[in-house]
Structure formats: structure tokens, C-alpha cells
Amino acid sequence: ETRLIHAEPGPNRGVRAEATEWWIGEAARRSGGELAFDIHWGGALFGANAALTSISNGVADSGLIVGSYLESEFPELYMGDLPLSERDPWVTMHAMNEILSSYPAVQTALADKNLAYLGIYATSPLQIGCRNDALTTVDDVKGMKMRYGGVYGPVFSALGGNMVEMSIYDTFQGMETGLIDCTPTYAYFAVATKLDEMLDSLTPIKLSPASSVATFMNRDVFEDLSPEHRKVLEGLRAEVIDHFAERLSKADADAIKKMTTREKPVVIYDLSAEDDARILEAAQPVITQWKASATAKGFDAEALLAEYKRLLDKWAKIRDTQGYPWERG
Amino acid sequence: MELWIYGIIAFGVMLSLLALRVPISFALGGVAVTAIFLLFAWRTGNFMPERAIRATLSLIFASTYDLVHSYDLSMIPLFIALGHVAHRAGITTEIYETARVWLVRLPGGVAIASVAGCGGFSAISGSSIACASTMGRICTPEMLRLNYDPRLATASVAAGGTLGSLIPPSVLFIIYGIFTETSINQLFLAGILPGLLSMAGYAAAIMIWVRRDPSIAPVPAETIPLREKLVAAARSWPAVVMFAIVVGGIYGGIFTATEAAALTLLFATLVGLGRGRMRLADIVPTMRETAKTTAAIFFIAACAKTFVAFISLTGLSNQMVTAVGAAEFGPWAFLAAVVVIYLVLGMFLDPVGIMVLTLPLMIPMVESYGMDLIWFGVVIVKLLEIGLITPPVGLNVFVLAAVIEDKVQIGRIFAGITRFLAMDLVVLALLIAIPSISLIVPLTMR
Amino acid sequence: MMTRIETLMNTIATLSVVALCLLITANVAGRIFFGAGVPDAMVLVRELMVPAILFPLASATAARAHVAIEVVAQFFPPALARWMAVLAALIGLVIVLPLLWAGWREFTDAFGSGALFTGDLGLPKWPGRALFVIALTMFALRLMHVAAIDLAAALRGQDTPRTDPQGN
Ligand code: NA
Ligand code: NA
């Protein structure tokens, strides 16, 4: 028996780490203990920036790749970050899962990168968390000092935000000192990192959550596995989504509850429909830029995005008609 | 063979190479690259060299490139450059002069002034070694001229130099913050009081020593009029401005630590140019030393990172964490073990190497005890600083001996160091016993 | 020749630190006075870090500035010490040559695929890797030179000579 090396850039904490451990436990159980992974947490082998080359070159047999850093090399994964209007992690993950599992051009691209796809994750819905100042209308963004966060940086920059580049670990202190007024965040993440202590208000933003974090296996290693073992791993792709989404939505709801029922509650502001539209409008250049990256990698970007949107609609409809799997009787 | 045993063997080979005077970076990197290749090549039981080559090259490139290709770490060359520019611009001399004119009439006053000067220089420089070498050039010859005992004239500066990493800015806090994912700004603020406490400890050590044996520090006859003292204090305004930029800027939320590094460097350069101490053409030669120091530090860190990745691959780190967890040490026993390990490693290794080797193993344990990572960072940096002045490898002592052109033997310097070391252990005990010495400043920021 | 290239590389390293300093300052000034920083400042700083940190490695090697531990070695007889110097340089090559090889592969990959940084300007990733290759090439050449000189000294039983004649 060969123990497989699985690399995670982040620490062994939180809902996503728990889902990874569940997935690895299930893989072992369903293969009668033959698919045995050793997890290397906290970037001990390589950091998030190097995950793509490291897994495709076999430094680890499998591991997490963060697409947010890889717009030009991995546009098919980065697509999960695009600021679209659907804002449900479960729907987004299932749509991305279908793209990464079966869209033909994506299959070819993954093979070129020597990768086999194993599972996708997402953040909970995007919030702008603020201290002192609050984001009540889009006009408030003008001149607001905000942390530059991933794909949302250019969106809020376009709306007039004064973007501050800083390490995510300095967000807490940046808010404490007033270096930034606001930061893109997620309810669950804010509580898990104690950032909630700093927050006076939260403004939900109706953009899709980031869903470009996925587990991949080195393709040579995947092809060396027996057909049964490959089937076990492929079968887990959709299941880990349901497992994770249930816990994520619960953690997010608990976090919102904690923040809104504490002694000095966090105020939640809802933006108007016009403001939602302005934000979507400001996000267009991000999508245009993504299309250029995807085209440069040989994709028919329009067709790929259209398929992704079709799948988002499909899974939103499943949710609306049948409910979430964990809520079905 | 169990993989973790393979890890221990590689560790042993690496230590033997160190003993054979192979540079630290080469020993770590050379062993790591060989061991990683063999591990990948034989993983499946069959020899697979092509896959192993690809994986090994990918791993060593990522370890090195990602370390260097970093925004946060750009603070390190900036803060090291700052020390050199401040020296050239005369800012360093003024800090010391101010301390000297105010303290010269005290018994051992010039030594105390040297420690205070080191503290002042620490507030604008991120490196203990830069601190010892810069202040050593200024203070030690002055004390020798006044017939101070050579042990006092050298040890006070070698010890004072260690303030460089506790008082912000600090290269060691930057590296600790990055490896443990804690806020560098908070670490900087946490280091202020422990730095001042250490400085007071050194001053006390000097006073006790001189009281017992007044002959080691003759008091000069000169009296300095108050006017002159005030002029000296007023002249050191650039140092005050620079400290205000670093601490005030971070504390007041005007900019990040990286930005403070760039601004103070620019300010020191402008002061140097404005005073005619430097010309634009001097900037390159002034900073050439910076370049070499920084390159060597980073290369050690990169090789250590590769070595740590290898240790992680063997599962040795997991084994150790599990073993310590299973032993169910209490927190005090754990802290005692940390102190002993760091003091022993500090006798031989350099601070950056120690951190990159130990932190990835240590931090999960610290977290499992529920200890505060900011406070733990202060304790670690204090321990690393002590390592800079312990024999046989005391980098601060070596640097000092080099800048005074070996006018005092290394053995004599270490003889003087013992008193400062004793005081350091007292300060260390206080820092461990009373975490609020470290945490009160970051906490008052709310 | 090698010394002159190393001097040039040190100068570039220093100028990169100066550029870092000015770029970060401009970014702060932009944010405070104009409400917007320099586009892609973070990416540019990271790219500049490569020459700032790695270009001086060759001359640091010539100056024998890599920190080693002398505790045990000070008791070595001179002949053994000379052979240990050869061993040290060879072990250095064990890490430096693979790094150079790895850097070359990463450079050709990044250049061939046209990989870009995610950011405002979409800057290419290959220049930083090209600078890495240059730094490691000079580092490797200098280390081989040091190894050859130390080997000659060990064979002749003479003291190991300096390798940085102009002391830079
Ligand atoms: Na300092
Ligand atoms: Na030591």
C-alpha cells in the first residue's frame, strides 16, 4: 500500500478543513483502507501560489488549488470566482462541479495540466464588513478605505473605493487602527478569525460566492489507481459538496446570529435593487478580462460561460423545487 | 524502513555537515535536495527517476521563489538598508551623542549611553547584527579611549545590539509573523515594552558591575553644560521622526509596516542628502553591504524551507507533534522545553535558521495549549536574541570583534557578556511569567 | 570579468531596493492624497524582490559570506580544513545547480504559456523567473570557480586564497 500525499495550503481549522477530512475518511472507508492519504496542512510542502505546478509535477499526489491566483493559467477554475448574480454556494459548487467533471474542453485542459479533478469548494455569500463607517448605498463606496480582496478589488475600486493592499492577517489590526474602514468578508469567516469583534455593520453583496478552490490529483497518480478506486473518488465529488454546503450554511447562519444578537449587535444593511445592478455593472470588466484570459487559453469563452450560467440556473431550479438535500424529508 | 527514520538520518547528515564547516544554507539545501529526490524516486517501491526529478525541481523552486517573491518580506531589505543609510547620514552618531552627554557623569555612564544608543538605533533598524556593527563602530572605541575595561566596552554593545530585534522594526518578528500567520503590526507593538525592559536590565547590569568594581569605568572629568545637552537632544530629531513613522504610523493606522519601512528609508536618505553627508552617487556603495547580508539571510531561509518540506514529507513532524501530545506535558513543562531547545540551538545556529526549522513543528503545539501567538513570538524572539550573544557561536560578538578590528579578543568579550546574559535570563523569566508585558501595548490600541 | 559582472549585479540589486522604496512610497502617497494607489504595486514589488535579494548571491559567495559554524572546525588540522572547503563548495553545487535547472524550466513554462499575474495590468510572470535564472547562473558559476580554486589549493597543500580580489 502506498500512502498518498495530500497538501493543503491552509491550517487544519474550520468547515472546509473538516470537509476535507470527511472526504479523505470516506475515500479510505469506501476503498477498504486502500486509498490512504496523509494530509500536510499549513503549506508545509508548498504555498497556495505554487499549488498548481506542485501537484501537476507530483510534489504532492493530491491537494488544494486556489484558482484566485491563476486567472491566466487556469481560467476554467478561476471562472468560479466571477462576480455573477447567483449567490448560493451550493448552487455555484454544483455548477462548477459539472463543468470540471464533464465539459469537454475543460477535460482536455485538465489533462494538459496533468491534473484529475476531485472536488470543489466555495465561500459563503459575500459581505462587506465595516467598522464605524457603513456601506448603506453604493455611493458610500466613494473614498472608502477598503482592503483589496481578490476579484472584488477591481469591482469596488471601479465604484470609487480607496483600495489598500494588505495581508489578510493584518485585516483585524487594519480595522482597529483605521487603516481600512471596510473589507470584503464572509459571515462565517469573520467569526472564525475574530474579525467580527471589529465589525459594526455588514452589507450583503448580491454577487456569487468565490468558488475557485478545488481539490485535484496528479493525473499520473490518478491513472495508476485501479478503476474501482477512481470510481470511489469520482463518486465523492458531488457528495462532498452536499456535506460541505450543509455545514457551511449552518456555520454562516450561526455566525450571523452571533453577530446580530451580541451586546452591541452588528447592523445589517440591505442594498437597493438599483445598487445591486450598479455593482453587477461595475463587475463587468472583471468578466470581460476573464473572457480574454479564457480565449488566450484556447477556450470558446462565450460558450463556456453560457454553459456555466445554464448550469447555475439548472441547480438553482433544483434548489427552488426540491430544496437543499439536507432539508429534504 | 519507516519514513520518519529516514528523516532522522537526513537530519543527522545535515548536522554532521554543519560541524564540518559546510555553510548552513548549503548543508540544509544540499541534504534536502538529495533526500527529496531519493524519497520521490523510491516512493512506490519501483525506481522512478523521471517523476522524481520533476517533483524535486518543482518543490525546490517553489520553496525558494515564493519566499523571495513576497511583498511582506520586502520589509527586510528596506529595514536593513535603513541601518546603513542612517549610519552614513550621521543619524546613528547623534542618537549615541545625545545619550552620552546626558549620562557621561554617571558611573559606567558611557556604557549605559551605548546601551541606550543601541535602543535608539533599534527603533529605526530591523536587524540586531546591523545594530551591533553600527554602534560597535561608534561606542566601543570611545569607551576604550576613556579607559573603560575592554570587557565592558565590548559586551555592553554586543548585548545592546540584541535590542534590534525586540524593539520594532524587527526582521525576526517579520519572519515569525509570516511563518505563524500572525499580524506583524501587532508583533511590532508587542515588542516595545519587552525591548525597553531588556534595555533597563542591561543598564542595571552595568550599574551593578561598576558599583562592585569602579575601576572598570573611570568617570571623565569633563562637565557638560545643560545648553550643550539640549543642543545634542535637539539635533537627534531625525531619529525621533523615524521612530514616529514606524510606530506612530502603524499604531495610528496611517500605513502598514512595509510602507513604514519604505518611508523611513526615504526619509533617512533625504536627511543624509540634505545635510551633505551623502551624495546621490553614494547610495549604491552605502547599500552594497545590505545586499550581501540580505542575500545570505534569504538563502538560508529558502534552504531551510526546502528542508522543512522534506521533514514534512517523511511524516517526522507529525510524529513529533503526536508524541508531545501523547506525553501530555503541562504548559509549563512545554515552555521549559521550548526555552531549553532554543537556548541550545541558539548556541550554534543563526536566528532565521532556527525559526524556519522549528516554527512549523512548534506552532501547532503552541496552539493546542491555547497560548497567545503574539506573546509566544516575543518569547521566541527574546530567546533568539540571547542566542546572538551565547558562546560558542555568538554572531553579535563576532560582528563586534570584526568592526573593532579584533582590538579585543573574542574570549574577553564573552567574559564580559556573562553579566548581561544573567540579566537576560531574568528578563526572559518575567516575559514568560507576565504575558501582559508583551500584550498590553497591542491591547490598548482599541 | 566575473567580478565586474558581480559588481553590476550588486548595483542592480541596490537599485531594485531603491525602486521598491520609491514604489511603496508612491503607493502610500497616492492612497493618502489621491484616493488610489499605484496599479499592481504589490506585483511590481514582488518582482523587484527577485533581483534585490538574489543578485548579490554570486558576490556573497566570492566573499565567502555564507555563514558557517566554526565550533568544531577550528580544531581541524589545516590540510583537513582545506578539503572541507572543497566539500562545502561541492555541497553548495548540489543545491544551486538543481535550483538553476528548476528556474530554467519554470522560466520556459511561464514564457511559453504567457502566464500573467491576476491584477489591474495583467503583467507577465516570466520576467521575475528570468531574473531568477540570471541570479542562479552567476551564483553557480562563482561557486564552481570557488570549488576549483579550493581544490587546487587543497591539492597543492596551500592556504585557500581569497576569491574576491577587489573586495566587493
Ligand atoms: Na529594531
Ligand atoms: Na549563540
* Alpha helices for B104-183 (secondary structure H): 109-122, 128-145, 150-161, 163-166, 171-180
In a domain, C12, yes or no: yes
Report residue C101: phi and psi, to 5°.
-60, -50
pTM for this structure? 0.82
Q: Total domain count for chain C?
A: 1
In a domain, C97, yes or no: yes
In a domain, C44, yes or no: yes
Contact at 8 Å (CB) between B21 and C92?
A: no
Q: Which ligand is nearest to the CA of B396?
A: 2
- Please report which confidence band the pLDDT of residue B224 belongs to, taking 50, 70 and 90 as the band edges: confident
* Alpha helices for B213-244 (secondary structure H): 226-235, 237-243
In a domain, B322, yes or no: no
Asked if C50's CB is within 8 angstroms of B70's CB, the reply is no
Q: What is the pLDDT of residues A250-278, one digit of tens each?
A: 999 999 999 999 888 999 999 999 999 99
pLDDT for B240 beyond 90: no
Which residues form the domain of C12? Answer: 1-156
Cα distance between residue B266 and residue B260, in whole Å: 10
In a domain, B315, yes or no: no
**Predicted pLDDT of residue A97:** 98
Q: How far is C43 from chain B (nearest CA, A)?
A: 8
Q: How far is A209 from chain B (nearest CA, A)?
A: 24
Higher-confidence residue of C168 and B164: namely: B164
Per-range mean pLDDT, top range of B156-170, B293-307, C28-42:
B156-170
pLDDT for B133 beyond 60: yes
Asked if A162's CB is within 8 angstroms of C122's CB, the reply is no
Partner B contacted by C123 (CB < 8 A): no
**Predicted pLDDT of residue A271:** 94
**Predicted pLDDT of residue B134:** 76
Q: Is the peptide bond before A265 cis (omega within 30 degrees of 0)?
A: no
- Please report which confidence band the pLDDT of residue A314 belongs to, taking 50, 70 and 90 as the band edges: very high
Partner C contacted by B392 (CB < 8 A): yes
Crossing angle (nearest 10°) for helices C41-54 and B283-314: 90
Looking at the partner chain, which of C57, C59, C91 has a beta carbon nearest the beta carbon of B17? C91
In a domain, C163, yes or no: no
DSSP, collapsed to helix, strand or coil, labels residue C11 as helix
Is the ipTM here above 0.90?
Answer: no
In a domain, C164, yes or no: no
Cα distance between residue B96 and residue B261, in whole Å: 22
Mean pLDDT computed over every residue of chain B: 85
Which set of grid coordinates corresponds to residue B3?
A: 519514513
**Predicted pLDDT of residue B48:** 86
Partner C contacted by B292 (CB < 8 A): yes
Partner A contacted by C31 (CB < 8 A): yes
Q: What is the pLDDT of residues C1-10, one digit of tens each?
A: 888 999 999 9
Which residues of chain B neighbour A44 with C-beta distances below 8 Å? Answer: 308-309, 312, 317, 360
**Predicted pLDDT of residue C168:** 41
**Predicted pLDDT of residue B1:** 65
In a domain, B32, yes or no: no
Mean pLDDT, rounded, for A71-90: 92
- CA of B127 from ligand 1 middle (Å) equals 6
Per-range mean pLDDT, top range of A167-181, B277-291, B338-352, B356-370:
B338-352
Which residues form the domain of B387? Answer: 73-297+381-443
pLDDT for B446 beyond 50: no
Lowest model confidence (mean pLDDT) among A185-194, A205-214, A320-329: A185-194
Mean pLDDT, rounded, for C15-24: 93
Nearest to A170 by CA among B250, B367, B365: B250
Q: Is the peptide bond before B392 cis (omega within 30 degrees of 0)?
A: yes
Please tell me which residue of chain B has the smallest CA distance to C43. B71
pLDDT for A169 beyond 80: no
- Would you tell me which residues 102-121 of chain C have a C-beta closer than 8 angstroms to some C-beta of chain A? 106, 109, 113-118, 120
Which set of grid coordinates corresponds to residue C25?
A: 512610497
- Please report which confidence band the pLDDT of residue A234 belongs to, taking 50, 70 and 90 as the band edges: very high
**Predicted pLDDT of residue B445:** 59
- CA of B230 from ligand 2 middle (Å) equals 39
Q: What is the pLDDT of residues A208-219, one digit of tens each?
A: 999 999 999 999
- Please report which confidence band the pLDDT of residue A63 belongs to, taking 50, 70 and 90 as the band edges: very high
- Would you tell me which residues 24-63 of chain C have a C-beta closer than 8 angstroms to some C-beta of chain B? 24-25, 27-28, 32, 42, 45-50, 52-57, 59-60, 63
Q: Which ligand is nearest to the CA of C70?
A: 2
- Please report which confidence band the pLDDT of residue C40 belongs to, taking 50, 70 and 90 as the band edges: confident
**Predicted pLDDT of residue C167:** 43
Cα distance between residue B137 and residue B131, in whole Å: 10
Higher-confidence residue of A160 and B97: namely: A160
In a domain, C34, yes or no: yes
In a domain, B60, yes or no: no
Q: How far is C42 from chain A (nearest CA, A)?
A: 7
Cα distance between residue C22 and residue A112, in whole Å: 41
- CA of B405 from ligand 1 middle (Å) equals 25
pLDDT for B396 beyond 70: yes
- Please report which confidence band the pLDDT of residue C71 belongs to, taking 50, 70 and 90 as the band edges: low
Asked if A59's CB is within 8 angstroms of B62's CB, the reply is yes
Cα distance between residue A17 and residue A23, in whole Å: 10
Please tell me which residue of chain A has the smallest CA distance to B67. A47
Cβ contacts below 8 Å, chain A against chain C, sum to 37
Which residues of chain B neighbour C83 with C-beta distances below 8 Å? Answer: none
Q: Total domain count for chain B?
A: 1
Looking at the partner chain, which of C42, C115, C120 has a beta carbon nearest the beta carbon of A154? C120
Nearest to B290 by CA among C128, C21, C143: C21
